[in-house]
Every structure is written in structure tokens, then in C-alpha cells.
């Protein structure tokens, strides 16, 4: 029996079944991966939200029993740091949720002003006033077209890292920001002379909740948020770092003219 050409060209039932099965297996893998990420997110957020509260409760108990005013002042300073840590963590969670749900919105942005605004916002961080900050716009195009919220989130996380991970023993703490703008791309380079990142950690620093050091316990979300932010701006990021020498982060995003 000779089959009609149109029938012969149709995919076989088994080929269609195999294709559907492959897709089903792929979906199962994706769901398992999402569940694993959700479990990690839930565990880490609950831990990081409870830790400062536990610290605060312990300090309150100490204050209740303390009679020396000098010690009380020390305890209140410790409480302030604990609250700042929790506030920063909540800011990170808020930023992550914000960039996940907001559409990219184009607007004209003066990068020099935005960088200065970000530094001002971070002036409350410990040691921020000790850091010498320089901003160098390399050409005559400081105004770009991009998403202001996303650029601010990215700069806020990168500059806060540059401040928080300065070396205690460094005589002169520095952060240098270099900006190069063309009609198509925007390049921002942020360099510090802080503690640096050891080579074995550099490929993992963009993972959710990954902490490359115990020197200053952050949320482990900062660089993950930067990566997620850049994904919606056709952006990329590279890090070069040496232990006890410092870190340079180079970010490139599209100029959405």
C-alpha cells in the first residue's frame, strides 16, 4: 500500500509523544529548580530577619540589668547597628521584588547626579565618611536614556559594597567611579581599595544569599540583585579583585536612545 505524500510527511505518533515527554521532563526540572530556590529564599530570609531581633532582645535584657550609663550607651549603639542591618536587608528584599514586577521605563538620567545621590543615601553606613570618593565622567555625554530605578538599585548595591568592605587597617580608603557613555552603551567602573574577594569566591558572588566573607555579614543579596537588574537592561557585569588590594566592578548597559 502506498501512502499519500501528505500523510508520509506528518510526524509519527511516537515522535510527537517523545517530544511531549521531553518537554514534560524539562518542565519538571524547572519546577524542581524553582522549588529549591524558593526553599533557599524562605530559609535565608527567615534566618536573616530573626537574627537582628534575637540580638535586640538580648541587648534589651542586658540594659534592664545594667546600672552603668556608659555600658547602656554601648548597648544602644549595638542595637542601632542591628537595626541598620535589618533595615538594609529589608531594602534588598524590597528592591528584588520591585525590579521583578516593574516594566522598564525610559527616562533621561544625569549619571553624575545619580551617583552623588547614591553616595548621599549611603552616608549613614559605618565608615562612609572616611572614604575618599571620586567621580570621573570620561566624555561629554553624562546624560543617558535608561531605567532610573534599576540604575539606582544597581549603583546602591555596588557602592554600598565598596563602602562596607573597606579594610580596617587601610590608611586611605578610596572609591573611584569612572563613567564612559556612548550613543549605544554605558560603562560604569567602580574601584575600591578594600579587602577584595578571594579567587575561589569570585564565580559565586552573584548567587542568591552567597557571602564571600565573614568580614562584614551582609544579606548575600546585593550582587544577585545587580545581576537580576542588569538582565532587564541588556547589561553585563565583570569583577576583578585581589585579596587585601581591592575590587573593580565593570558594568555595561544599553543606552536606550
Can you point out the beta strands (E) in 105-146? 107-110, 131-137, 143-146
Q: Which three cell numbers stand for residue 141?
A: 555625554
DSSP structure class, residue 125:
S
Which residue bears the cell 548595591? Answer: 157
Answer yes or no: is pLDDT of 3 > 60.
no
Distance, in Å, from the CA atom of 230 to the CA atom of 150, rounded to the nearest integer, reads 8
Q: Cβ distance 114 to 153 under 8 Å?
A: no
Q: Cβ distance 155 to 196 under 8 Å?
A: no
State residue 61's pLDDT score.
84
State residue 169's pLDDT score.
79
| Reported confidence tier of residue 90, pLDDT bands at 50, 70, 90 | confident
State residue 9's pLDDT score.
53
Distance, in Å, from the CA atom of 58 to the CA atom of 78, rounded to the nearest integer, reads 11
State residue 136's pLDDT score.
93
**What's the rounded mean pLDDT across residues 122-145?**
85
Query: What does the longest C-alpha to C-alpha distance in the chain come to?
Result: 103
State residue 109's pLDDT score.
92
The residues facing 189 across adjacent strands are 178, 250
The residues facing 180 across adjacent strands are 187
Distance, in Å, from the CA atom of 193 to the CA atom of 246, rounded to the nearest integer, reads 4
Answer yes or no: is pLDDT of 176 > 90.
yes
Distance, in Å, from the CA atom of 181 to the CA atom of 144, rounded to the nearest integer, reads 7
Q: Cβ distance 142 to 110 under 8 Å?
A: yes
Question: How many angstroms separate the Cα of 36 from the Cα of each of 23, 31, 119?
Answer: 20, 9, 36
State residue 186's pLDDT score.
92
State residue 236's pLDDT score.
93
pLDDT in tens, 10-49: 556 566 666 777 777 777 776 766 565 555 555 455 555 6
pLDDT in tens, 99-116: 767 788 899 999 999 999
State residue 210's pLDDT score.
61
Answer yes or no: is pLDDT of 191 > 80.
yes
Mean pLDDT across the chain: 79
Residue 108 dihedral angles phi and psi, to the nearest 5°: -80, 130
Q: Which three cell numbers stand for residue 155?
A: 549603583
Amino acid at each position: 500500500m502506498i501512502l499519500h505524500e501528505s500523510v508520509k510527511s506528518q510526524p509519527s505518533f511516537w515522535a510527537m509523544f517523545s517530544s511531549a515527554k521531553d518537554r514534560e521532563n524539562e518542565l519538571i526540572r524547572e519546577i524542581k529548580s524553582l522549588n529549591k530556590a524558593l526553599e533557599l529564599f524562605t530559609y535565608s530570609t527567615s534566618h536573616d530577619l530573626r537574627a537582628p531581633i534575637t540580638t535586640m532582645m538580648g541587648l534589651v535584657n542586658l540594659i534592664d540589668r545594667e546600672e552603668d550609663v556608659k555600658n547602656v550607651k554601648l548597648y544602644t549603639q549595638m542595637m542601632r547597628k542591628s537595626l541598620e542591618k535589618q533595615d538594609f536587608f529589608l531594602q534588598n528584599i524590597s528592591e528584588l521584588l520591585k525590579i521583578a514586577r516593574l516594566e522598564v521605563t525610559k527616562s533621561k538620567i544625569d549619571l553624575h547626579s545619580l551617583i552623588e545621590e547614591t553616595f548621599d543615601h549611603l552616608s549613614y553606613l559605618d565608615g562612609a565618611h572616611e572614604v575618599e570618593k571620586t567621580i570621573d565622567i570620561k566624555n561629554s555625554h553624562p546624560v543617558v536614556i535608561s531605567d532610573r530605578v534599576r540604575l539606582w538599585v544597581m549603583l546602591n548595591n555596588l557602592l554600598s559594597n565598596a563602602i562596607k568592605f573597606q579594610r580596617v587597617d587601610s590608611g586611605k580608603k578610596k572609591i573611584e567611579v569612572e563613567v564612559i557613555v556612548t550613543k549605544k552603551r554605558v560603562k560604569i567602573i567602580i574601584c575600591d581599595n578594600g579587602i577584595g574577594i578571594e579567587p575561589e569566591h569570585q564565580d559565586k558572588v552573584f548567587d542568591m544569599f552567597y557571602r564571600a566573607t565573614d568580614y562584614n555579614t551582609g544579606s548575600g543579596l546585593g550582587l544577585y540583585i545587580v545581576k537580576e537588574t542588569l538582565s532587564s537592561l541588556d547589561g553585563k557585569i565583570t569583577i576583578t579583585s585581589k585579596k587585601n588590594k581591592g575590587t573593580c566592578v565593570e558594568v555595561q548597559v544599553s543606552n536606550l536612545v
